[in-house]
């Protein structure tokens, strides 16, 4: 049996981490993954404050200790002073993946002109792909849906488990060699 | 009465700063803002040489001392050796805003294939949004027009004055919470 | 007679450099240039391993010693651990040219959703424009074809030779002053 893929989900939000309101972003990501993935997976889910050292430590732990092949963050990508998720993500990166942010902003821009305010990026750390998503549940589905077809092959290239998807939702693409 | 928003306009050009020719970029930006903004605003306008320390000092002064919520530069974004506006802009940045440059190049690319040579970016410094525009008056209107719908909300997120626009020219977008 | 433009072509591939298989990327670039360029040109072609110091040294030599106005690399732009061409390219850069990577990914994305995994960039070093292309011959033509209309004017701005193209293949664009 193919090994299960470990996926980290990190909500970055001062208010959700204090319990001031219920986190909607993390569950939206988990719901999306349940719909889309057909191979086995398990998740580690964290809700943390918009503190750069804490975000960096969480990403390092999920990548290096928990062995997550994919780590998805939500929140903290805007221009406000407390929004530091992209900086924390790039700080733990071995490689920057500019194509993810470009495509996610392009897709969001078809809905709202303020999509250009999102600074979301994606990076490689070791064998983990880390992707920033915006905070709003609707935008999460749009953005994750846009990049999902490329994620299984990216994990292949990093030496991770073979991920499959329900083709009626998302068709994973693997180039023929 | 809503406080007036302060806007800095910086023409970066060796020749215009020496008086070798009249600056067209700065006035094109001011004309555009006059057409589009319906809330109160006031401008500070500078014409400076393509010298990186001078550009950085000017951006810092407009942001920190003059209290400009929005600073718009024109010129110095190409590949030539004297073009250093993006480097100066990133050097004073707290945050990089990649979506602005991506969208402005996309819009310019519909007109001229050499749009990919423009290295324009946008950043946050403190409570100021700083945006690089290209040097040509026609390109200024295209680029500033493309990103203008997102600027008032960005200034909101930075804690600045509430900016309104004439909807028939530009419809400012603010997401519903 | 207009001076000949020097063009460097660098295949970055562990396997091709060891002779494990024939390099297809470098010849695909040279074939494309033969079809498209109508002015005089000469090429320097290298096949090297995916070693960052070696890639950097090769780019520096082609730019500084060989005097190449244009240097095109193929390979090493993906997310895998041995893919380090973009990092090597940025390490020797005077200026980053984000518009090239954005446009090349956009064009490739119309063909394959995994185009977002390509981290290709372009930079200026001295009087040289350095462009990363992906490894696959088909993608090389797509990507180089997308940016080629802007290359002659970019070389003009760097003080290099006047390059002309066969208009039926690629129409070089030079803005009217």
Where are the domains positioned within chain C? 5-157
Phi, psi of B95 (to 5 degrees): -140, 145
Helix (H) or strand (E) holding A146: helix A137-147
Q: Give C-chain residues touching A98 at CB under 8 angstroms.
A: 98, 101-102, 105, 119, 121
Which residue stretches of chain C are H helix? 14-18, 25-36, 52-60, 85-91, 98-109, 137-147, 151-157
- Neighbouring residues of B65: CB distance < 8 A, sequence distance ≥ 6: none
Homologous superfamily assigned to A5-157: MoaB/Mog-like domain (3.40.980.10)
Strands C70-74 and C95-96, how do they pair? unpaired
User: What tokens does A83 get?
Assistant: 């929004």
Q: Say if residues A92 and A125 touch (Cβ distance below 8 Å).
A: yes
B113 touches chain C (CB under 8 A): yes
Chain C residues 50-89 with CB within 8 Å of chain B: none
Cβ–Cβ of B116/C99 closer than 8 Å?
yes
Q: Is the confidence at residue A98, as pLDDT, over 90?
A: yes
Per-residue pLDDT, averaged over B140-168, amounts to: 97
Give the mutation candidate from B52, B79, B121, B136 for the C interface (greatest C CB count, under 10 A): B79
Q: Give B-chain residues touching C100 at CB under 8 angstroms.
A: 116
Instruction: Check residue C34 and give its pLDDT.
Output: 97
Residue in the block written with tokens 């695909």: C28
pTM value?
0.97
**Residue C118: which of C73, C71, C155 has the closest Cα?**
C73
What is the per-residue pLDDT across A135-175, written as a single tens digit (0 to 9) for each?
999 999 999 999 999 999 999 999 999 999 999 999 999 99
Cβ–Cβ of C97/B115 closer than 8 Å?
no
CA distance B7 to chain C (A): 27
Per-residue pLDDT, averaged over C94-110, amounts to: 98
Interface confidence (ipTM) of the complex: 0.96
Q: Which of B81, B119, B136 is facing C97, going by the closest CB pair?
A: B119
C29-36: long-range pairs with CB below 8 Å, 24+: C29/C72, C29/C74, C29/C133, C29/C140, C29/C144, C32/C140, C32/C141, C32/C144, C32/C145, C33/C7, C35/C166, C35/C169, C36/C148, C36/C165, C36/C166, C36/C169, C36/C170
What is the per-residue pLDDT across A26-40, written as a single tens digit (0 to 9) for each?
999 999 999 999 999
Coil, helix or strand for B161? coil
C138 touches chain A (CB under 8 A): no
Cβ–Cβ of B102/A116 closer than 8 Å?
yes
């Amino acid at each position: 049996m193919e090994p299960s893929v470990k996926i980290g989900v990190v909500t970055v939000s001062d208010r959700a981490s204090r319990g001031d309101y219920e986190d909607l972003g993390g569950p939206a990501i988990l719901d999306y993954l349940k719909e889309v993935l057909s191979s086995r997976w398990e998740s580690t889910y964290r809700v943390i404050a918009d503190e750069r050292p804490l975000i960096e430590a969480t990403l390092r732990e999920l990548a290096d200790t928990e062995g997550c092949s994919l780590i998805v963050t939500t929140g903290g990508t805007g221009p406000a002073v407390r929004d530091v998720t992209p900086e924390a993500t790039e700080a733990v990166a071995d490689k920057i993946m500019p194509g993810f942010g470009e495509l996610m902003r392009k897709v969001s821009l078809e809905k709202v002109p303020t999509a250009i305010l999102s600074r979301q990026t994606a990076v490689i750390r070791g064998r983990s792909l880390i992707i920033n998503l915006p905070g709003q549940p609707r935008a999460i589905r749009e953005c994750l849906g846009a990049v999902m077809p490329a994620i299984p092959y990216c994990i292949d290239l990093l030496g991770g488990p073979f991920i499959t998807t329900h083709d009626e939702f998302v068709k994973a693409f693997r180039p023929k060699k």
